[in-house]
A = this chain, B = another copy of it.
Amino acid sequence: MSARRVRVVITSPLEDEFLDRIRAVDPRLELDVPHDLLAEPRYPSDHPLPTLDGAQARERWEALLDEAEVLFDFGPLELAPTLAQRPKLRWIQATSSGVGRLVGRVGLRDSSVAVTTASGVHARPLAEFALLALLMFGKRTLELVADQRARRWQRHAGEELRGKTVCVVGLGKVGCEVARLARAFDMRVVGTVRAVRGRTAEELGVDRLEGPEGLDDLLGEADAVVLAAPDTSETRALLDARRLGLMKRDAVLVNVGRGSLVDERALVEALRSGHLRGAALDVFEREPLPPESPLWDLPNVFVSPHSASTVAQENARITGLFCANLRRYLDGEPLVNLLDPERGY
């Protein structure tokens, strides 16, 4: 075994127990944790960016990046465009999945630096959010909360998910988990992938599988549409006015993918006109959602502040993934969750 040291710089906050787990992977690892420069997490598993105050802080970061072979998270965005030029940097482990655009913006797309994503870590919490949203609209939860605040006791008939059709746009790890849970409720599940490439509906656990060209057709048969696709040039404004119009009257939209997938202005129109029953949105064209957005006030919209993927257990899972990848890195094996720069995720 070579005596070579591998410097790992941790650039977003991580609990001590997880830092210890990372150190325990191999004695060759040398962890740099610039505690004084990292921002305070605002909630468990928060990954805030460090903000470099003053020349001294910036200088220290520059020095850390110059020595780093591995980064946990991208570090300060102001220095990210310089990552491709760092002499020793070989690999960055991201803490989210859809980092393709960021990687392009900071010039890492064609560099030799490997980027691995947190793909899979957020599948369960996002799928739970999607099911929450489907159940909420079935059981008229937003109306009931409004009734409650007005002390109004108004009996009604709700709906069951059983027998309804949900269309999952993007049957990746998140989308397949949505499909699995939806089927536990006896929903019919249809969905799309970027490229079918010989995969079958059965393999992905759905009742009907289409490529992007089949989306228009699926929209017309779905009682609910769940967006679980990444932000790529192919998905931008995927759900525009025309496609929103193809959705069934009284259908529900859930977005746990990216805000860029939806033409928000057209969505507001479809929600106001009553064409759609409602929308549950965890992601938006602009985040934080601007105070002037009409989405805040629409009675049939549930706004979630891009937190549906965040659960207390997230850092434990990302650490597990990182440790497994460190092992592979040291052993010269291929990393898992390697970003595909072509696809962007």
Contacts and interface: CB of A to CB of B under 8 A. Distances in A.
Interface of A: 42-46, 124-125, 128-129, 131-132, 135-136, 138-139, 141-142, 144-145, 147-149, 151, 153-162, 180-181, 184-185, 287-289, 291, 296, 301-308, 310-314
Contact of A160 (B128, B141, B303, B305): B128
Nearest to A127: B185
A301 B145 CA distance: 10
A312 to B, nearest CB: 5
Contacts of A144: 302-305
A43 B155 contact: yes
Given A132-B139, A139-B308, 18 more contacts: A43-B157, A128-B138, A128-B161, A131-B135, A132-B135, A144-B302, A144-B305, A145-B145, A147-B303, A148-B296, A148-B303, A149-B296, A153-B287, A153-B289, A155-B306, A156-B310, A157-B314, A181-B184
30 contacts: A43-B155, A44-B157, A45-B157, A46-B155, A125-B160, A128-B135, A128-B138, A128-B185, A132-B132, A132-B135, A139-B304, A139-B308, A141-B141, A141-B302, A142-B145, A145-B302, A147-B303, A147-B305, A148-B303, A149-B296, A151-B291, A151-B296, A155-B305, A156-B307, A157-B307, A157-B312, A157-B314, A158-B308, A181-B185, A184-B184
Contacts of A147: 303, 305
State how many copies of this chain the complex holds.
2
A141 B148 contact: no
A43 B185 contact: no
A156 B43 contact: yes
A159 B305 contact: no
A142 B148 CA distance: 12
A147 to B, nearest CB: 7
A174 to B, nearest CB: 14
